[in-house]
Structure 1
């Protein structure tokens, strides 16, 4: 039996979701002769102990104590502002780590910590859970196998059933950073292509407070991939039919759609068609419940040396750079060229300029 101690750092709402998923995964892994022990820690004094008592888990009084007592890996689900500090502690302790996205508060800080991770030879898996969703994986298999032919276009949709509070949106970084980031990552992952240009537009027809804090409630981005393939990414805070996550992968031989099932959040306008008949997913947590568990399994396999890193910090920051470029295009009303992470790190390109959220009129 292989024994692994995982320190789960950050036990707020998202952190507790990850802890619950890791508990479920631990039961599954016992069948593979792997025993996972979960130990909690949080920046708020006494909070990890309280959550641990509720969930039947051990807790350390601080991250430093957690590491000093001995763990085999860290799973970081703190607020974004706390990621870099914990990553540096993990690097110093030579621990493999999982870090929720984004790895830092902005792209410049992310690039700085990537350099530290790479200089130390550290292992950090970043939490882009769509890479572990069965639908996206099958679409990638079909594309890689040549079943779709060459791609002529991709169409991504990310629609929340209702918006979060305007107070959250004021600090979210904007619609493209907060929502479309996931589409940018999955398009890069599925196609194996960098996104080299983006042109974005946005609108506000819902709560005026969203516009008042400088954001838009609906956005559309036209993306150009490195090989010239075109993609669109549409996001909205007001998809009243339910939580809608889809990706149309359109090829010269065939096409496939991720997210087309009985829980799809739309109805057909054609006569005699009652598909889909199920209740749509209310939020992302239900839509990607299995994917979140699968990424936990992947992290354990990474710790054991049984697989390659499924989402590196450079992968995650590449999507963040696209999101910054989309926000800049929204602001200026002009298309924006997008440098790669490597071009920025080697000094041959500059990061995308980050501006206020208020879009061009």
Structure 2
């Protein structure tokens, strides 16, 4: 017997449209298990939202209250960060599981009351850290957990965009560490099971001067220390002309692995006769993590059906954001910063 799961999507900007496409595509994957997904959506840009609804065979609702009242099994939030707290509370109050793109709120201070609200109400909220569903990161975690790498002596994480987003976005993003590197901070915690306890950061601006004028940097590096003393680096840039480059290197006493080393790696070898990688590099994060985003949404459906535990809790997201806050503070002060427990 086919089980129908109705998802309500709030926000159909770039990320929202991607989620709408993935939800629609999942029907071909979930059907063998007797699950059919139905999509309803809303956005303040009504004309655009109606167009997206038509493209994906979804129902358009004029407002969030009407969307929730129409009968949905789960709420997907893909709106601006400032709207996340109220939308999360609305979903929790309706008694339905919620999926929300990171972060929980614009900063840790505003996130903590939301997390407490979720706890008090017994709500289920999955936060969107899609790298946890990427095949490369999953294999690296498997190898680490199995002891195949021995003990880890070095960690190196990289997140580089090919081109920077609009300066208007950067003015409200919270900075490079909060916008980009927070994914690396999250994945280091998730993969190792250890906390980052100290951060020392440096940054530079050699691209568009307007990025510096809005208080951000276009390139940054953070030296992180885990709670067992292991050290690592987390680097990021807005100007990686070779392509979108996301990697994680784990070097251990018995072995090493590198996430992101495939034919679309945005690097070329300087050694004679080496043709690897031969593929065309990704240009954006959406291409790089296409499969991970679909797997993430499939996991949310499983959460709704009670078939799996929440794979990324609000507490997880806030923990990564605390590291990003410490990195930003270190960048501004020039000294190492301890991460708030």
TM-score, structure 1 normalization: 0.92
Residue 138 (structure 2) aligns with: 137
Whole-angstrom CA distance in 2 between matches of 1:210 and 1:102: 22
In the alignment, structure 2 segments of 5+ residues that lack a partner are: none
Whole-angstrom CA distance in 2 between matches of 1:241 and 1:66: 42
1:105 aligns with 2:106: yes
Whole-angstrom CA distance in 1 between matches of 2:267 and 2:226: 29
Change (3 A) 1:271 1:50: closer
Q: 1:100-150, CA deviations, whole angstroms, 9 ceiling, x for partnerless residues?
A: 011112111111100000111100000000000000000000000000001
Offset of residue 50 of structure 1: 3.3
Whole-angstrom CA distance in 2 between matches of 1:237 and 1:78: 23
Residue 59 (structure 2) aligns with: 58
Q: 1:233-279, CA deviations, whole angstroms, 9 ceiling, x for partnerless residues?
A: 01011111111000001111000000001100011111111111110
Residue 354 (structure 1) aligns with: none
Residue 247 (structure 1) aligns with: 248
Offset of residue 46 of structure 1: 5.1
Greater mean deviation of Cα atoms: 163-172 or 277-286: 163-172
Equivalent residues of 1:160, 1:244 under 8 A apart: yes
Whole-angstrom CA distance in 2 between matches of 1:140 and 1:182: 15
Structure 2 residue matching 1:164: 3-state secondary structure: coil
Whole-angstrom CA distance in 2 between matches of 1:68 and 1:106: 30
Equivalent residues of 1:48, 1:61 under 8 A apart: no
Equivalent residues of 1:49, 1:61 under 8 A apart: no
Whole-angstrom CA distance in 2 between matches of 1:248 and 1:161: 20
Residue 329 (structure 2) aligns with: 328
Whole-angstrom CA distance in 1 between matches of 2:309 and 2:107: 26
Residue 227 (structure 2) aligns with: 226
Pairing 1:1-361 to 2, within 5 Å after superposition: 1-45=2-46, 47-340=48-341
Equivalent residues of 2:20, 2:56 under 8 A apart: no
Equivalent residues of 1:7, 1:73 under 8 A apart: yes
Give the number of equivalent residue pairs. Answer: 340
Equivalent residues of 1:76, 1:83 under 8 A apart: yes
Offset of residue 54 of structure 1: 3.0
Equivalent residues of 1:43, 1:63 under 8 A apart: no
Structure 2 residue matching 1:167: 3-state secondary structure: helix
Offset of residue 91 of structure 1: 1.2
CA RMSD of aligned residues (A): 1.1
In the alignment, structure 1 segments of 5+ residues that lack a partner are: 341-361
Whole-angstrom CA distance in 2 between matches of 1:212 and 1:115: 36
Structure 1 residue matching 2:106: 3-state secondary structure: coil
Offset of residue 165 of structure 1: 2.2
Whole-angstrom CA distance in 2 between matches of 1:210 and 1:177: 15
Offset of residue 66 of structure 1: 1.3
Structure 1 residue matching 2:15: 3-state secondary structure: helix
Whole-angstrom CA distance in 2 between matches of 1:46 and 1:261: 41
Offset of residue 77 of structure 1: 0.8
TM-score, structure 2 normalization: 0.97
